[in-house]
Amino acid sequence: MRRIDILVVLVCLTALIGLGGGMAVFATPQRMVPRTLAPLPAPPALSEFREGTVGPVQSLDPLFAASPAELAISGLIFRGLTRAGTNGTIVPDLAERWEVDSGGEVLTFHLRPDARWHDGGHVSADDVVFSYESLADVEVRRIDRFTVELRSGSESPILLARTLRPILPAHLLADVPAAERAAHPFGEAPVGNGPFALAELSEDGALLVRVGPPPGGVPAHYEAGPLAPLPEPTPRTAPRARASLDSYRFLLYPDQEAVVAAFVEGTVDAMADAGPEAVRRLVDEPGVQAMAFPGTRSLALVPNLRFETGPLRDAQVRRSLSLAIDREAIVETVFAGSGLASQSIISPASHLSHPETVPVPVTDAAAAQSGLLAAGWTRSDGGWSRPGSSEPVTVELLVRDEQTAPLDRAVAELVAQDWRSIGLAVDIVPLRPEELVEEHLRPGLFDVALLEIDLGLEPDPSPLFTSAQAAAGGTNLAGYQSSLVDRLLEDVRIADTAARPARVAALQVALLREMPIIPLVFPDEVFLVRDTLQGMELRQVAEARDRYSDVLAWRLARPDE
């Protein structure tokens, strides 16, 4: 199995056992948020922005960052060769440009000559080689000091998505044995290459200072430290007058409830992962804006297509049951309106999305029932029966238990409600993540499961649908097999970026017809922020650090603005 396939397995499977892919558990609205916001205190000296997040911080080494705080803080300290751009695109960051060879499997990156580490050294090809040499599916080669070549079995659009990963300093870490890396002091005192450097770290928070003097003068904490003479790690893409945050302070809290309380009290200016109930209560408060970043993570129904007796084996049945689902109600009810309803595994926010090809989902209970009849199903007082049988069908819908994923359970309840409304009997079966994976998904013993799927900014659906991965235990969890879809999947992995959108559209047409997976929603990543912050631009995000892609354009409004 290629590593890109393994990565999707980790999204589809290990997320189910709580390794970073699960949704947070939120407090009840009554305990979380009073109705009236406290006045925002005057900001600290200069322009310091304060974000509240859940700790602890044990390591800021991007290789080991896991908690919300670690992921957010390291996202401002480190950069990759590329970063998330608008409309789901990938744009230069530490690299100023790149070329693709004629075969499409080799990318040559040219680093910015002014990109520096926070200790003053240049970011070089040696750092890129060090950062990528652990990836089994990417071959990396140094061409010269500021040029590096990446080669992979995946064509350039897929390989390009890998270049978002943070670049680490070879001169500090190359000689550290792998077994000692997790406990190395670098994790608490990282030297990065991003727009902010770590100045202070404690159990209560972290202070990051902007690298390079901002317009309008040099703050005291630059004058006192070694950062003063350094240029910015990457050139500005925004006008100099807009890049005015002098420091970025993270305040750490034990849980999300405490973060929400701090936001309400005015102790922090922003927070992520507030939860739908907090968003619902706070979004209309004066002085608050909810920045809803479209995510790459989706919730979808994965049917088991391996057995002739499977209730969702027939594509006509899957299309009919899809018609019965009110996806907009899921977005509004479960995610407080922050999300995108979709019939496609490709997000509507992606630059590869084709609205003309994949229409906006509609709910039509009458058409759903007509579709089941057309598929040969019959309805009686006991419910729906499959062709050739008089026994009513009861579909088992597997889902992670409520303690692990309360929002998943809420989505499952709405799906079951819609299916029951057309007469289909549904049993929701909550399972511990390890039980769901090991006893049902891997051996292929299930009717349908609600799963979280993340294909990233450059989506490659191949592992989910390719026939080669349809055996039990493979990444094609549905067990779907189609020679036509196999060919289309190969087509979308081409290097010709101009032709790729049209080929993705052709794939979407086939998947819409076959419905081997029934996509539901793409929840947004919501960032609640005081409206004193200006310059933040919405973009599709795959990870927490993606929301900081344009941080140099952020500024705090003056009192007279």
Q: What is the CATH number of the domain that holds 185?
A: 3.40.190.10
CB 410 within 8 A of CB 313: no
Q: Residues 225, 324: one domain?
A: no
Assigned token pair, 107: 């990318």
Q: Is residue 326 part of a domain?
A: yes
Query: Is the pTM of the predicted complex or chain greater than 0.75?
Result: yes
Same domain for 495 and 442, yes or no, is yes
Structural domain contains residue 19: no
SS3 label, residue 225? coil
Do residues 487 and 432 both lie within one domain?
A: yes
Same domain, 248 and 159: yes
For residue 304, give both structure tokens.
């088991």
Same domain, 215 and 167: yes
Q: Is residue 275 situated within a structural domain?
A: yes
Give mean pLDDT, residues 302-327: 94
Q: Please, which pLDDT band fits residue 46 given cuts at 50, 70 and 90?
A: low
Give yes or no for residue 17 having a pLDDT over 70: no
Q: How far apart are CA 83 and CA 173, in angstroms?
A: 23
> Is 399 contained in some domain?
yes
Is 163 a member of any domain?
yes
40 found inside a domain: no
Give the chain's domain count.
2
Does 417 map to a domain?
Answer: yes
- Contact between 246 and 551 (Cβ < 8 Å): no
Are 198 and 341 found together in one domain?
no
Q: Tokens 């399972």 label which residue?
A: 431
Whether residues 133 and 242 share a domain: the answer is yes
> pLDDT for 228-261, tens place per residue?
334 444 443 433 333 468 899 999 999 999 999 9
Average pLDDT across the chain, whole number: 84
Cβ atoms of 448 and 416 closer than 8 Å: no
How many CA atoms does the CB half-sphere of 26 hold within 13 Å?
Answer: 23
Residue 404: which CATH number? 3.10.105.10
Are 375 and 475 contained in the same domain?
Answer: yes
Peptide bond into 92 cis (omega under 30): no
The per-residue pLDDT for 36 is 40
pLDDT value at 153 more than 70: no
Determine the 3-state secondary structure of 521 from DSSP: strand
Domain assignment of residue 250, given as a range: 45-293+525-556
pLDDT (tens digit per residue) in 69-107:
999 999 999 999 999 888 778 889 999 999 988 666 789
* 169 and 199 share one domain: yes
- Looking at the fold, whether 376 and 239 belong to one and the same domain comes out as no
Give the pair of three-digit tokens for residue 308: 């002739």
* pLDDT value of residue 90: 86
The helix/strand/coil state of 183 is coil
Alpha-carbon gap, residue 394 to 379, rounded angstroms: 13
Tens-place pLDDT, residues 180-216: 999 999 999 999 999 899 999 999 999 999 886 544 4
Pairing verdict, β 247-253 and 48-54: parallel
Q: What is the pLDDT of residue 76?
A: 94
For residues 479 and 444, the answer to whether their CB atoms sit within 8 Å is yes
Q: Judge residue 179's burial from the number of C-beta atoms within 10 Å of its C-beta, 0-12 exposed, 13-18 middle, 19 or more buried.
A: exposed
Instruction: State residue 6's pLDDT score.
Output: 35
Burial class (CB in 10 A: 0-12, 13-18, 19+), 375: middle
Beta-carbon count within 10 A of 173 CB? 18
Q: How far apart are CA 476 and CA 25, in angstroms?
A: 29
- Any residues with CB less than 8 A from the CB of 560 and at least 6 apart, and which? none
Q: Match 């897929």 to its residue by tokens.
A: 158
Q: Do residues 344 and 280 share a domain?
A: no
The verdict on residue 320 lying in a domain is yes
Q: Are residues 287 and 316 in the same domain?
A: no
H-run or E-run covering 450: strand 448-454
